[in-house]
């Protein structure tokens, strides 16, 4: 087939917050009152008014050598472009922008248009010892876009937005070959014209790219039905400073360890994904979303486990704990109006008869475990599923501190992880003089366990970045101590980097270093991300 591309350029991500700059959430007065009375929020935290408010250091790099590879029109050094590529969209990133801190801004933005151009840029950077930050949608929430570039000749952001084509569609195998700069909605639109979907819808879906899904081992909200991105990815092409990796020749293979798994989740530290072959399915004939309220989170967990282990699992399956249900943060438009118990969302997608059958079997399990149906809750979740980050921006503006973190554990450990991590967050923030509310929901389920997604809110301290880092460190230690993983789907970045050795052990870190030494001997790819730097000296 002839490669197809989106007909219009994608919208720019809000430079000082989340999403579409024309979309905002206005907090009702009752919410402002709740923030004052329950959390002690007193002072607002306004955003900077314009990119012109920032003063960036002069670029350390000239454009000529890169322009010879990608063309002068595809190299940018203006301050606004550098600012837009300086940070991701974690709460610490947004708080730093509010303090006019974009000290990690790259020197240049380079926009390659092909695999060959990516290879040439990586070779050039390796020869000149220039750090490279692969850049897709800019939606990292774990500090994954700010390289430790002080010991390099400079830093470039390698923005893959020009590589945004649907290259092939194999309808017999139900596979699509796509480029990494294609955003989620663009991929769905191009495939939808041909009757197919990938079915991967993380909360960052509107702005994140398919290359970013692979680099972070992303999980979508419909993972119970479609699988995580690691299950959807069948093959990939990867550019490295020393050459090309072409991985994935068949649906299964016993030809040694699966090298795709080295790239999945490597966060741009081992190579730059330049094409992906992903599974697709027919666009579902029917979609239905239900809400169910359980007497307690414990009873809801049992129902989710039964569905995950014994069949009839919905496409989307989520469960809010009592605190999240009460505040109803899952539906920003209804903040503060939730009732008691634990609210579950079950979504079904597929052929009409299949949806009816799975919905019926799941309904029996929900009712047997004491749940009461709330259809309007399912409809509200479907409508507002991508709005939570906009709510975070509004809460930050009001002077609250809001952040999320997630983990996963085996079913037997899920209750203790829920309680221990919640307590660690509350205790850390209370000790800092800012008592907090901690909310949690199950976001992804498996036969053996589930992912827990925490949201924490409190008043901002004088140094909210340090305040949040202390709380997140306490939560990370709690996760490690009670059997969870340091991250289920957000990635490592810099935020979780110090806990990776606890997760995989010193020998595991050594294996990753050995792979990096082979693929990136000058350590130019996203230095400081994922792997702790070698002790004593900066990377070679």
Give per-residue pLDDT as tens, 340-379. Answer: 899 999 999 999 999 999 999 999 999 999 999 998 999 9
Question: What's the pLDDT score for residue 234?
Answer: 98
Question: What's the pLDDT score for residue 332?
Answer: 43
Supply the CATH classification number for the domain 286-481: 3.40.462.40
Give the span between the Cα atoms of 247 and 238, in whole angstroms.
8
Residue 517 predicted with pLDDT over 90? yes
Coil, strand or helix: which one is 193?
coil
Mean pLDDT of 331-347: 69
Question: What's the pLDDT score for residue 246?
Answer: 98
Q: Comparing C-alpha atoms, which of 455, 333, 319 is closest to residue 391?
A: 333
Q: Comparing C-alpha atoms, which of 247, 266, 243 is closest to residue 257?
A: 247
Mean pLDDT of 443-466: 97
Q: DSSP state, 4?
A: B
Question: What's the pLDDT score for residue 336?
Answer: 41
Residue 488 predicted with pLDDT over 90? yes
Question: What's the pLDDT score for residue 327?
Answer: 83
When the pLDDT of each residue in the chain is averaged and rounded to a whole number, the result is 94
Question: What are φ and ψ of residue 2, in 5° steps?
Answer: -80, 130
Question: What's the pLDDT score for residue 534?
Answer: 61
Tell me the domain boundaries of the chain.
Answer: 1-17+59-283+491-540, 286-481
pLDDT band per the 50, 70, 90 thresholds, residue 329: very low
Express as a percent the part of the chain with pLDDT over 70. 96
Residue 510 predicted with pLDDT over 70? yes
pLDDT digits (tens, 9 = 90+) for 203-213: 999 999 999 99
Mean pLDDT of 264-286: 97
Question: What's the pLDDT score for residue 535?
Answer: 57
pLDDT band per the 50, 70, 90 thresholds, residue 536: very low
Give the span between the Cα atoms of 12 and 183, in whole angstroms.
12
Do 1-17+59-283+491-540 and 286-481 have matching folds? Answer: no
Q: What is the pTM of this model?
A: 0.94
Residue 537 predicted with pLDDT over 60? no
pLDDT digits (tens, 9 = 90+) for 229-253: 999 999 999 999 999 999 999 999 9
pLDDT band per the 50, 70, 90 thresholds, residue 1: confident
Give the span between the Cα atoms of 517 and 507, in whole angstroms.
15
Question: What's the pLDDT score for residue 335?
Answer: 40
Give the span between the Cα atoms of 430 and 417, in whole angstroms.
20
Residue 539 predicted with pLDDT over 90? no
> 508 vs 17, 480, 505, 512, CA distance in Å?
36, 16, 5, 7
Supply the CATH classification number for the domain 1-17+59-283+491-540: 3.30.465.10
Mean pLDDT of 39-44: 90
């Amino acid at each position: 087939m002839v490669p197809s591309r989106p007909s219009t350029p994608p919208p720019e991500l809000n430079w000082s917050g989340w999403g579409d700059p024309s979309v905002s959430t206005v907090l009702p007065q009752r919410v402002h009152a709740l923030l004052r009375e329950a959390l002690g929020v007193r002072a607002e935290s306004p955003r900077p008014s314009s990119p012109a408010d920032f003063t960036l250091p002069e670029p350390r790099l000239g454009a000529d050598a890169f322009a010879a590879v990608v063309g002068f029109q595809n190299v940018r050094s203006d301050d606004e472009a550098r600012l837009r590529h300086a940070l991701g969209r974690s709460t610490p990133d947004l708080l730093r922008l509010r303090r006019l801190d974009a000290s990690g801004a790259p020197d240049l933005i380079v926009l390659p248009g092909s695999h060959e151009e990516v290879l040439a840029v990586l070779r050039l950077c390796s020869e000149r010892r220039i750090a490279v930050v692969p850049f897709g949608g800019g939606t990292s929430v774990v500090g994954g876009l700010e390289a430790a570039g002080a010991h390099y000749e400079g830093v470039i952001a390698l923005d893959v937005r020009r590589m945004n084509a649907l290259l092939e569609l194999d309808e017999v195998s139900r596979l699509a070959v796509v480029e990494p700069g294609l955003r989620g909605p663009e991929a769905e639109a191009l495939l939808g014209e041909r009757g197919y979907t990938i079915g991967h819808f993380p909360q960052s879906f509107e702005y994140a790219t398919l290359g970013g899904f692979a680099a972070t081992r992303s999980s979508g909200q419909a993972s119970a039905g479609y699988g995580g991105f690691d299950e959807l990815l069948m093959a990939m092409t990867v550019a490295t400073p020393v050459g090309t990796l072409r991985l994935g020749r068949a649906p299964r293979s016993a030809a040694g360890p699966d090298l795709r798994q080295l790239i999945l989740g490597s966060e741009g530290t081992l190579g730059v994904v330049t094409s992906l072959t992903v599974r697709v399915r027919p666009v579902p004939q029917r979609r239905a979303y239900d809400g169910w309220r359980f007497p307690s989170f414990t009873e809801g967990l049992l129902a989710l486990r039964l569905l995950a282990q014994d069949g009839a699992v919905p496409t989307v399956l989520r469960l809010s704990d009592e605190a999240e249900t009460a505040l109803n943060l899952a539906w920003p438009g209804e903040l503060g109006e939730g009732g008691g118990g634990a609210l579950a969302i079950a979504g079904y997608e597929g052929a009409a008869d299949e949806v009816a059958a799975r919905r019926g079997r799941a309904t029996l399990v929900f009712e047997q475990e004491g749940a009461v149906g709330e259809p309007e809750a399912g409809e509200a979740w479907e409508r507002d599923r991508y709005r939570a980050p906009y709510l975070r921006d509004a809460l930050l503006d009001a002077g609250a501190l809001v952040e999320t973190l997630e983990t996963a554990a085996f079913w037997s450990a899920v209750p203790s992880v829920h309680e221990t991590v919640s307590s660690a967050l509350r205790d850390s923030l209370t000790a800092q003089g800012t008592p907090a509310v901690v909310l949690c929901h199950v976001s992804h389920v498996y036969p053996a366990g589930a992912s827990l997604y925490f949201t924490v809110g409190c008043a901002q301290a004088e140094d909210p970045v340090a305040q949040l880092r202390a709380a997140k460190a306490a939560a990370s230690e709690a996760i490690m101590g009670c059997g969870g993983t340091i991250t289920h789907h957000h990635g490592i970045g810099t935020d979780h980097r110090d806990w990776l050795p606890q997760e995989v052990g010193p020998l595991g870190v050594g294996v990753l270093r050995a792979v990096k030494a082979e693929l990136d001997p000058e350590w130019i790819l996203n230095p400081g991300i994922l792997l702790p730097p070698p002790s004593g000296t900066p990377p070679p």
